[in-house]
Amino acid sequence: MHFYDINFHLLSNCNIFAKKNKMEFSAQQIAEYLKGTVVGDPNIKVSNFAKIEEGKPGTLTFLSNLKYTEYIYTTQASVVLVNKDFVPEKEISATLIKVENSYAALASLLTLADSMNPKKTGVSPKADISEKAQLGENAYVGAFAVIEDGAKIGKNVSIYPQVYVGDNVTLGDNVTLYPGVKIYKDCVIGNNCTIHAGTIIGADGFGFAPQADGSYGKIPQIGNVVLEDDVEIGANTTIDRATMGCTRIKKGVKIDNLVQIAHNVEVGENTVMAAMTGIAGSTKIGKHCMFGGQSGAIGHITIADGSMFAAQSGVMSSVKVPNQGHQGSPHFLAPDFNRSYACYKRLPDMRRQVIEMQKRIEELKQLLNK
């Protein structure tokens, strides 16, 4: 884990192994799938997931963050995924499956379970699809979805109810748009992208020019938004279209809920952003960057590859050195921030000490002047 915590929401009472008929898997079967090793009863079976602190018999959980180590000794879960180097300090009642990376193993199981869920198919008669739109094979279009003129929809696309796909929008293959997503005209969504409910792609950027009379005149936003392949966008996020050119979200980017990306921003490959992050216009972000919750960056700056920002960081200038952690607002290097904060917490005591020293100095001056 990095010095800050991006809260990836994991699992809570999600019956991922169950379909219409309850399905169970033994610890040995799971271990074989994950190429792991069973410590305990290989025949014990699970049919559900649970958080480690809420584990119940018949559930599978995992231990990745060492903050939760105490729960492995008390959890009622039947099976726990752990890293192969985990050594218990006392007896554990659960069966362990040791793997290279318990977090990655969990993700693999979740992906497998999700693939077992039936995929929606067909086009609702209540959907409004332009005759000038192109709809790919195996598409699902829900009720009250709207697909406008010139839209091109790829294969295996799922468009849930009340989605709006504007004029000349392009959706690649295997795209999922959850209910209420709005894709404005001319935007491009790559292959294997997922956009969650309420997100708006391609609304106007915040462009207004001051006028002589003190008012603000709107600057037309004639660009678009491009999401490259394998991008996932959380719920109620907004990504504004460019004034000119494009706002570009590059391959593999993962963006949480309630994030604001302004016009002409470029987000580099495999960058992740936690909820309530805000990026101002024309900022260029490198690849493999990480933004904690409620962090923000001003406009027209460049952020180096691999930069990491703690929650509530304020990025007020360009970051030129790659692969460094930053914290605070205005931001500075995390170790420097921690040292400064340690001093900051002591300021009341230091103030009292200074006042006391001033009193003593005055007393000494009076003695010397006698």
For residue 25 the two structure tokens come to 């898997």
Residue 166 lies in a domain: yes
Number of domains composing the chain: 3
- The whole-number pLDDT of residue 332 equals 66
pTM strictly above 0.75: yes
246 lies in the same domain as 100 = no
Q: How confident is the model over 271-318, as pLDDT tens digits?
A: 999 999 999 999 999 999 999 999 999 999 999 999 999 999 999 999
- The whole-number pLDDT of residue 9 equals 38
CATH code at position 88? 3.40.1390.10
165 lies in the same domain as 49 = no
Q: How confident is the model over 158-174, as pLDDT tens digits?
A: 999 999 999 999 999 99
- Percent pLDDT > 90 in the chain is 79
Give strand ranges (E) for 208-356: 208-210, 216-218, 224-227, 232-233, 238-240, 246-249, 254-255, 260-261, 266-267, 272-273, 278-279, 284-285, 290-291, 296-297, 302-303, 308-309, 314-315, 325-327, 332-333
CATH code at position 279? 2.160.10.10
Which helix (H) or strand (E) segment holds residue 244: the answer is none
Which of 47-56, 177-186, 284-293, 358-367 shows the lowest mean pLDDT across its residues?
358-367
- Collapsing DSSP to helix, strand or coil, 55 comes out as coil
- Collapsing DSSP to helix, strand or coil, 334 comes out as helix
Distance CA 55, CA 203 (A): 43
- The whole-number pLDDT of residue 16 equals 44
202 lies in the same domain as 285 = yes
167 lies in the same domain as 290 = yes
Q: How confident is the model over 189-225, as pLDDT tens digits?
A: 999 999 999 999 999 999 999 999 999 999 999 999 9
Distant-in-sequence, close-in-space partners of 140: CB < 8 Å, separation ≥ 6? 119, 120, 121, 122, 123, 157, 158, 159, 160
Residue 257 lies in a domain: yes
Distant-in-sequence, close-in-space partners of 177: CB < 8 Å, separation ≥ 6? 157, 158, 159, 160, 163, 165, 171, 183, 195
341 lies in the same domain as 330 = no
Residue 129 lies in a domain: yes
Q: What is the mean pLDDT of the chain?
A: 91
For residue 306 the two structure tokens come to 């691999």
Among residues 226, 206, 197, the alpha carbon closest in space to that of 279 is found at 206
Q: How confident is the model over 90-104, as pLDDT tens digits?
A: 999 999 999 999 999
Residue 18 lies in a domain: no
Distant-in-sequence, close-in-space partners of 57: CB < 8 Å, separation ≥ 6? 76, 77, 78
351 lies in the same domain as 318 = no
Residue 103 belongs to what domain range?
25-115
Q: Is the pLDDT of residue 5 over 80?
A: no
199 lies in the same domain as 264 = yes
Q: Of 85, 115, 145, at which residue does a domain stop?
A: 115
Q: In what order do the strands lie in the sheet with 284-285?
A: 134-135, 152-153, 170-171, 188-189, 224-227, 246-249, 266-267, 284-285, 302-303
204 lies in the same domain as 259 = yes
Residue 212 lies in a domain: yes
Residue 273 lies in a domain: yes
153 lies in the same domain as 271 = yes
Q: How confident is the model over 224-246, as pLDDT tens digits?
A: 999 999 999 999 999 999 999 99
Catalytic residues: 263
Residue 207 lies in a domain: yes
65 lies in the same domain as 128 = no
pLDDT bin (cut points 50, 70, 90) of residue 2 is very low
164 lies in the same domain as 181 = yes
- Percent pLDDT > 70 in the chain is 94
Residue 217 lies in a domain: yes
Question: Checking DSSP bridges between strand 170-171 and strand 79-83, what pairing results, if any?
Answer: unpaired
For residue 58 the two structure tokens come to 């018949």
pLDDT bin (cut points 50, 70, 90) of residue 22 is low
pLDDT bin (cut points 50, 70, 90) of residue 12 is very low
331 lies in the same domain as 348 = no
